[in-house]
Structure 1
């Protein structure tokens, strides 16, 4: 199943058509794309038998972030060995976790304002939590996942590394620095959700290409590690780390400029297209 946020309303996407959830369920479920994660089991039971034949075509430019207002955003650093190596660091067996702030979320076709400095790309698989997770074992971790989507952990490197200790959360939370989309795809849609390809393309040139099976800490490991410390809540999201090929790791380093097109793709989910624009 594919769930999308179409102009602020929750829809089920089937092929090239979208079905409005509130209308289709005759008001049983809200049109609010964020609210559905609080009743995920009830919703998915209903959705499996929903009649989607009356869906209507839609414009991809009307798609917004499928999870627009999570209570918690987690992000994982240095979760691919080759990425750690390209920036001169060592991947840690203990997940390096930070946060991105909710105000940085934007959609899969949104413009991203360039705040100045060294703005870098980081394509990431984003995991959406569908069931409260606390002290979850790795064998049960995927039972708590509602779905997967494409994300970019856009980073302004000067702010990120400014100060006595790195400012990861601030450097990665400028407006528009957390685009997500184009929709959420439930795990059952994948032959193996633990091994899918992801890539970043900048102005037509491939910059990143990797597979999620190369993660140092898998999705299940991340959920287990985090849930030992805190509750993962329905609708929370986890940016799971980026493969090698970021601008900081290039020789010489290369960064995004106003006018650049940033394309982010993940196998089995789809792509985002974000234009870098001047700050208004």
Structure 2
């Protein structure tokens, strides 16, 4: 049925199936991708390629899947889609949708290299001085591969790295070499990207956040911006501005643009995403909502008002960016607790909308909005003070912790 010459091995994925736990048979044809299919318990056999996010149904008319080389797999058994995340060794299931592209729009693959988590960091040189470098986290999370030490042609800044996709292949090779590893505790993590061309923010983009404000869900994205030099690192202190008395927290999912896009077609939108990171949209509510004609800029872009990190996670390493738990703690007290599935405008929607008005370029950072639980809408309102510690975290990406000083 699949044109494969032999069955190489059988793998029991999980006792996960509704009816039982069938074995998944793996077959391989020389010079062809790996296929997986269910043994005999499904009413219709389906194929799977080793593509992150491609999908299809087995049939005599179209037996071949889209071929990509990544670390996720997918197959479809109406009424559900199944995804096997090989790195995490987890099986995920999604409810079947008549429009087969619904899931595919949200799960994207373009690179063909190993999934990586990029960090910028400061390292100490033999002469005692410090230098910035670019690295990739080792899967254990305890070490970093120093990409610049592994290959001097790799730039030490993420923004420059994104200008040439060939750097990805070099980085993947460095990660696989097992050399030039540094303990994470021996370096200082910086913001994962410095001085991007644009920092674009989306307001009122969670349904539950609109509800807490008692406002209607926007009909189109609400856009504002921050200056790029207000970005700070995942553990840097947030300076309390003397100009405000209403400093507030906002955890947000941010994504980083990986290639140039203008008037982007919806079906191509996610190919413009390089990866994801955690953002803290620090806000001075008095300047945002009461002063300066209620223009948001000053209340959103004071020094230190955009902590980012801890890394930029490539999109291939995130199963579904629009189904991630997102939380914020202040002094270890949970303040925000939601899911990115509550986004009003999804990532592809934002790319299409924004690119109607200006060109998106590699390195642009887009903050997708915050869920409910911010201080200003609590009863009574709550605001940050000096000494407070804010932790923002998103499932599958990580967390950042910043102290107000």
Greater alpha carbon shift after TM alignment, 10-19 vs 143-152 = 10-19
Query: Superposed, which structure 2 residues align to 1:104-143 within 5 Å?
Result: 104-115=230-241, 116-143=244-271
Could you say which residue in structure 1 is the equivalent of 2:153? 28
Greater alpha carbon shift after TM alignment, 28-37 vs 152-161 = 28-37
User: Which segments of 5 or more consecutive residues in structure 2 lack a partner in the other structure?
Assistant: 1-115, 123-131
Alpha-carbon separation, structure 1, partners of 2:378 and 2:350: 28
Q: Does 1:45 align with 2:169?
A: yes
TM-score (structure 2 length as normaliser): 0.66
Query: Superposed, which structure 2 residues align to 1:198-237 within 5 Å?
Result: 198-237=326-365
State the Cα distance separating 1:52 from its structure 2 match: 4.6
On the 8 A contact 1:19/1:52 being kept in 2, the answer is no
Q: Which whole-Å deviations, capped at 9, do the CAs of 1:39-67 have from their partners, x for residues lacking one?
A: 1x212233333335221212287111111
TM-score (structure 1 length as normaliser): 0.94
Tell me the C-alpha RMSD between the 2 structures: 1.4
Q: Does 1:196 align with 2:324?
A: yes
Q: Which whole-Å deviations, capped at 9, do the CAs of 1:164-185 have from their partners, x for residues lacking one?
A: 6422121011111100000000
Greater alpha carbon shift after TM alignment, 161-170 vs 195-204 = 161-170
Alpha-carbon separation, structure 2, partners of 1:32 and 1:190: 23
Q: Which whole-Å deviations, capped at 9, do the CAs of 1:221-271 have from their partners, x for residues lacking one?
A: 000100111100110000100001100111101011111010000111111
Question: Taking CA–CA contacts closer than 8 Å with sequence separation of 6 or more, which of the two structures ends up with the larger relative contact order?
Answer: 1
State the Cα distance separating 1:38 from its structure 2 match: 1.0
Could you say which residue in structure 2 is the equivalent of 1:75? 201
Q: 1:60 to 1:275 in 2, by over 3 A?
A: farther
State the Cα distance separating 1:24 from its structure 2 match: 1.1
User: Which segments of 5 or more consecutive residues in structure 1 lack a partner in the other structure?
Assistant: none
Alpha-carbon separation, structure 2, partners of 1:232 and 1:137: 13
Between Structure 1 and Structure 2, whose CA radius of gyration is higher? 2
Q: Aligned with 1:230: secondary structure?
A: coil
Q: Aligned with 1:213: secondary structure?
A: helix
Alpha-carbon separation, structure 2, partners of 1:153 and 1:52: 37
